[in-house]
């Protein structure tokens, strides 16, 4: 598990101290060694976070929670290779995403937006009154809540950026000197910081609502507004339908899920229950093409029934080879979920190689759903258990979920 909040803050402050010491080193050889040590420590935290994520995806009995943890991390995507995010990404997945993966969307949204990993990834630490940085504001509207067709305008992006001024991170032990009267507005939780010196304290006008300037409370009001917006319900539920039931998403099912979302105050579990209980769900089984993460984890779960996964390193390499390394999407839109993104000839060739490696176990594997006649005939002709496992894991039936 990642360290608790206080332990994580101490780690991050120590890492920042090491980074600054390395940059201040005047001897070239010592500077190079110090930089290398700093990078190695970040890499260590990244490996731990990736290993923990994959082991839970394979071995956890709470598989729905793990499916949704991957989905929501992809929805609120960050790239671990920016700045020091490799030391943050494990905590981000565990405490911002997994902890709320089946809870209320509003709680998940707030945890993701206020986490130092998101604030640093989308440059909100640079967002201050008089010199706005709109990155987080734009993605919060376009990717996280309303969607690109959600009815917001560029003026709303700018007003939301004003709301977000002063919301950032502090990787030192220092507390900023505050102007008189602003001390009560200052907030510090771990390395999260709201610095009212940097905040635009004026009123804002967002999506037709006046947001009274009063510090960090403005952000909570805006997140309440966005989480309860009908456009957010439609956008989020459309993605959930494509992920769990059908792509393209049936409009009637999206509308039904959005109604449940709004009626239940954004509770995620009732929306999933409505999708699983819909007439469209059972016929959809075995019709959605697996992303690389689904392909690798479902194969490892079959193998793990006889041979538990102890070293996740090969599987992490497989995900990288398939173009979906954990925590590493270069852009904030998350990995695509559609079949065309993952079914090219090169992708399939790589999957066949990985299927052969995964199937190299003396125990025969079996699918939960029976394979088609052609696959059954191929399995019957296999000359060994390993060959049979390979054919099973490379079969059309196994590529679908």
> Is-contact 207 235, C-beta < 8 A?
no
For residues 86 and 4, membership in a common domain is answered with yes
> pLDDT tens for residues 94-115?
999 999 999 999 999 999 999 9
Q: What is the pLDDT of residue 36?
A: 98
For residues 262 and 322, membership in a common domain is answered with no
Separation in Å, CA 187 to CA 93, 110, 115, 392: 23, 15, 14, 55
The number of domains in the chain is 3
Q: What is the pLDDT of residue 259?
A: 98
* Averaged pLDDT of the chain: 96
Boundary-marking domain end, from 100, 121, 149: 100
108 inside domain: no
Q: What is the pLDDT of residue 178?
A: 96
**Mean pLDDT calculated for residue range 181-208:** 97
For residues 305 and 355, membership in a common domain is answered with yes
Residue 173, pLDDT > 90, answer yes
Q: In the structure, what pLDDT confidence band is assigned to residue 6 with cuts at 50, 70 and 90?
A: confident
- Nearby residues of 290 by Cβ (< 8 Å), 6 or more positions away: 298, 342, 399, 400, 401
Q: What is the pLDDT of residue 153?
A: 98
Residue 306, pLDDT > 90, answer no
> pLDDT tens for residues 69-93?
999 999 999 999 999 999 999 999 9
Residues 212, 204: Cα–Cα separation, whole Å: 7
For residues 249 and 335, membership in a common domain is answered with no
110 inside domain: no
334 inside domain: yes
For residues 329 and 252, membership in a common domain is answered with no
The boundaries of the domain holding residue 240 are 230-284
Q: What is the pLDDT of residue 267?
A: 98
263 inside domain: yes
Residue 2, pLDDT > 80, answer no
For residues 237 and 319, membership in a common domain is answered with no
> pLDDT tens for residues 346-379?
999 999 999 999 999 888 998 888 888 999 999 9
Residue 5, pLDDT > 80, answer no
Residue 156, pLDDT > 90, answer yes
Boundary-marking domain end, from 100, 127, 142: 100
Place of tokens 């229950």: 273
Q: What is the pLDDT of residue 386?
A: 95
Token digits of residue 54: 């994959």
> Is-contact 195 175, C-beta < 8 A?
no
Phi, psi at residue 303, to the nearest 5°?
-65, -35
**Overall residue count recorded for the chain in this entry:** 401
Query: ∠ CA(169), CA(175), CA(179), 5° rounding?
Result: 105
For residues 277 and 296, membership in a common domain is answered with no
> Is-contact 74 67, C-beta < 8 A?
no
Sheet holding 167-169, edge to edge: 167-169, 192-194, 187-189
> pLDDT tens for residues 206-222?
999 999 999 999 999 99
**Mean pLDDT calculated for residue range 202-206:** 98
124 inside domain: no
For residues 331 and 365, membership in a common domain is answered with yes
122 inside domain: no
107 inside domain: no
Place of tokens 């805006």: 222
For residues 279 and 340, membership in a common domain is answered with no
Q: In the structure, what pLDDT confidence band is assigned to residue 289 with cuts at 50, 70 and 90?
A: very high
Q: What is the pLDDT of residue 367?
A: 86
For residues 301 and 319, membership in a common domain is answered with yes
Q: What is the pLDDT of residue 180?
A: 87
For residues 280 and 296, membership in a common domain is answered with no
59 inside domain: yes
Q: What is the pLDDT of residue 207?
A: 98
DSSP class per residue in 173-210: S------TT-GGG-EEETTEEE-GGGS--S-EEETTEE
Q: Give pTM, 2 decimals.
A: 0.97
For residues 274 and 353, membership in a common domain is answered with no
Boundary-marking domain end, from 284, 304, 328: 284
**Mean pLDDT calculated for residue range 118-143:** 98
Q: In the structure, what pLDDT confidence band is assigned to residue 125 with cuts at 50, 70 and 90?
A: very high
Q: What is the pLDDT of residue 111?
A: 98
What percentage of the chain exceeds 70 in pLDDT?
Answer: 100
């Amino acid at each position: 598990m990642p360290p608790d909040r206080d332990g994580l803050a101490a780690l991050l402050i120590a890492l920042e101290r090491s980074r600054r010491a390395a940059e201040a080193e005047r001897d070239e050889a010592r500077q190079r060694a110090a930089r290398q040590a700093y990078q190695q420590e970040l890499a260590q935290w990244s490996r731990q976070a990736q290993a923990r994520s994959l082991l839970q995806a394979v071995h956890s009995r709470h598989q729905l929670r793990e499916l949704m943890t991957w989905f929501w991390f992809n929805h609120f995507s960050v790239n671990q290779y920016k700045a020091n995010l490799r030391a943050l990404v494990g905590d981000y997945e565990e405490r911002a995403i997994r902890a709320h993966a089946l809870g209320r969307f509003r709680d998940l949204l707030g945890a993701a937006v206020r986490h130092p990993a998101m604030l640093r990834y989308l440059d909100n630490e640079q967002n201050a009154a008089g010199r706005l940085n709109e990155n987080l504001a734009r993605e919060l509207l376009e990717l996280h809540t309303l969607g690109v067709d959600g009815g917001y305008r560029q003026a709303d992006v700018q007003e939301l950026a004003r709301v977000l001024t002063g919301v950032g991170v502090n990787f030192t032990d220092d507390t900023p000197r505050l102007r008189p009267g602003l001390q009560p507005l200052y907030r510090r939780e771990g390395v999260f910081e709201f610095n009212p010196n940097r905040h635009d304290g004026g009123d804002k006008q967002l999506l037709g609502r006046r947001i009274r300037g009063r510090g960090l409370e403005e952000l909570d009001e805006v997140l309440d507004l966005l989480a309860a917006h009908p456009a957010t319900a439609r956008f989020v539920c459309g993605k959930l339908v494509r992920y769990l039931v059908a792509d393209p998403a049936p409009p009637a099912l999206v509308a039904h899920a959005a109604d449940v979302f709004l009626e239940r105050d954004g509770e995620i579990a009732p929306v999933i229950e409505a999708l699983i209980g819909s007439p469209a769900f059972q016929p959809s089984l075995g019709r959605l093409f697996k992303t690389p993460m689904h392909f690798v984890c479902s194969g490892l779960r079959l193998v793990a029934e006889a041979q538990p996964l102890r070293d996740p390193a090969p599987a992490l390499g497989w995900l990288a080879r398939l173009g979906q390394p954990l925590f590493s999407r270069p852009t904030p839109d998350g990995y695509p979920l559609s079949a065309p993104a993952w079914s090219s000839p090169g992708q399939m060739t790589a999957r066949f190689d990985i299927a052969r490696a995964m199937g190299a176990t003396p125990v025969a594997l079996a699918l939960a759903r029976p394979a088609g006649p052609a696959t059954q005939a191929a399995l019957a002709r296999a000359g060994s258990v390993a060959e049979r496992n390979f054919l099973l894991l490379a079969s059309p039936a196994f590529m679908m979920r």
